[in-house]
């Protein structure tokens, strides 16, 4: 480097301006080369499986085959129209919205309760935190295997202990009006302990002197929660809501194991619909169109939440 530089500089000085720029560009590139080489392995895989995949979804969504063996044909926005007109897709979107809201609210609420109750660190709270965190670690498939028996009609755990108190024994996974909610219970069970961690970490940011001052001023537990703790936890809330929404769209393993989207599509979620189109119906065009719509919705949501977060931080 020390040998090459003076020579490059002397040529650049006598060269016309345009060449001078080119030289500087080459020199900058040369200086950047080690960094590019270090980034190359990562960029190769990102290019193949992230940006490339994104590009292929865009292109695949524009093509269609008349039959699985027929040649690809450009169809423009037809796949998107077909997906939007497919009652199975719109049904899956509605199910997913119910599922997202219906799992996010209880699991975030419970997570906050757990975090507030277990904020003090001792042997008992550590054990309770571990108990609540255990479901986070097990595969959704294993959770489903356990809940398969819990929801079993008549002899299952739920009916054995609680069902007897009900006037009619529900068929938890077999009734189209109930199945989606039964599946939501698994998700809340599995995720509440995860979100609890973020609230526990968030609680550490609550300033001790403000809490003490409020306490001395006679603010009760509810007042302190409402006016000090919750405002302090706002970024945590926003973050957990984003994570919960992403989870609601990307966690579908329980649908595979327990219901296969049924009965009568009542537990069909968007990702399961995409899987069905691609793997069961070999309809890559429609699957790609559905993927595209979902990605657009999720990215819009994430961008929005980032902006909200940035605005809030900028204002503070």
**Residue 32 engages another protein in binding (rule: CB under 8 A):** yes
Q: Give min distance, CB of 91 to another protein, in A.
A: 19
Determine which residue in the list 109, 212, 234, 311 makes contact with another protein, applying CB under 8 A.
Answer: 212
Q: Which stretch binds another protein (CB under 8 A): 11-19, 86-94, 172-180, 281-289?
A: 281-289
Q: Which is nearer to another protein, 5 or 177 (CB)?
A: 5
Name which of 47 and 177 has its Cβ closer to another protein.
47
φ and ψ at residue 205, rounded to 5 degrees: -85, -10
The answer to whether 39 contacts another protein (rule: CB under 8 A) is yes
Binding another protein (rule: CB under 8 A), the pick from 211, 238, 241, 309 is 211
- Which of these segments, 32-40, 65-73, 80-88, 90-98, binds another protein (CB under 8 A)? 32-40
Interacting residue with another protein among 8, 88, 178, 214 (CB under 8 A): 214
CB of 93 to another protein, least distance (A): 14
Given a contact cutoff of 8 angstroms between Cβ atoms, the answer to whether 239 and 288 are in contact is no
For another protein, the closer of residues 15 and 306 by Cβ is 306
**Which residue in 183, 188, 199, 201 sits closest to 135, CA to CA?**
188
**x/- contact string, 49-68, with another protein (CB under 8 A)?**
xxxxxx-xx--x--------
Task: State which residue, 14 or 164, has the beta carbon closest to another protein.
Answer: 164
Residues 158-177 that bind another protein (CB under 8 A): 159-161
x/- letters, 138..157, toward another protein (CB under 8 A): xxxxxxxxxxxxx----xxx
- Stretch binding another protein (CB under 8 A), from 7-15, 72-80, 101-109, 294-302: 294-302
How far does Cα 136 stand from its chain's mean position? 14
Task: Determine the Cα–Cα distance for residues 274 and 88; give it in Å rounded to an integer.
Answer: 11
Q: Which two tokens stand for residue 10?
A: 């002397």
Give the interface size with another protein as a residue count (CB under 8 A): 109
> Is-contact 234 144, C-beta < 8 A?
no
Ranges within 99-128 binding another protein (CB under 8 A) = 110, 113-114, 116-121, 126, 128
Cα dist. 293→29, 243, 267, 298 in Å? Answer: 39, 19, 20, 9
Residues 243-262, one symbol each (x = binds another protein by CB under 8 A, - = not), give x--x--xx-xx--xx-----
Could you say which of 92, 100, 104, 200 contacts another protein (CB under 8 A)?
A: 200
């Amino acid at each position: 480097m020390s040998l090459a530089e003076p020579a490059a500089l002397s040529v650049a000085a006598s060269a016309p301006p345009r060449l001078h720029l080119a030289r500087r560009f080459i020199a900058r590139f040369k200086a950047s080369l080690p960094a590019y080489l270090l980034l190359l392995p990562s960029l190769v895989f990102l290019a193949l499986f992230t940006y490339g995949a994104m590009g292929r979804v865009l292109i695949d969504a524009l093509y269609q085959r008349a039959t699985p063996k027929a040649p690809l044909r450009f169809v423009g926005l037809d796949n998107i129209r077909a997906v939007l007109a497919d009652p199975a897709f719109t049904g899956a979107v509605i199910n997913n919205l119910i599922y997202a809201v219906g799992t996010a609210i209880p699991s975030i609420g419970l997570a906050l309760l757990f975090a507030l109750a277990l904020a003090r660190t001792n042997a008992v709270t550590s054990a309770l935190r571990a108990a609540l965190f255990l479901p986070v670690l097990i595969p959704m498939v294993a959770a489903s295997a356990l809940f398969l028996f819990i929801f079993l009609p008549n002899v299952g755990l739920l009916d054995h202990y609680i069902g007897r108190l009900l006037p009619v024994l529900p068929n938890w996974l077999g009734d189209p009006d109930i199945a989606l909610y039964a599946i939501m219970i698994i998700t809340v069970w599995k995720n509440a302990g995860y979100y609890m961690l973020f609230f526990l970490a968030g609680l550490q940011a609550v300033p001790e002197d403000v809490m003490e001052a409020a306490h001395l001023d006679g603010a009760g537990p509810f007042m302190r929660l409402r006016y000090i703790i919750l405002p302090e936890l706002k970024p945590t809330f926003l973050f957990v809501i984003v994570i919960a929404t992403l989870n609601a769209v990307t966690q579908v393993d329980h649908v595979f194991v327990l219901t296969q989207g049924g009965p009568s599509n009542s537990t069909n979620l968007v990702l399961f619909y995409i899987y069905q189109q691609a793997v069961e119906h070999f309809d890559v065009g429609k699957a790609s169109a559905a993927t595209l719509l979902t990605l657009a919705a999720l990215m819009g949501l994430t961008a929005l939440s980032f902006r909200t977060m940035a605005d809030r931080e900028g204002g503070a």
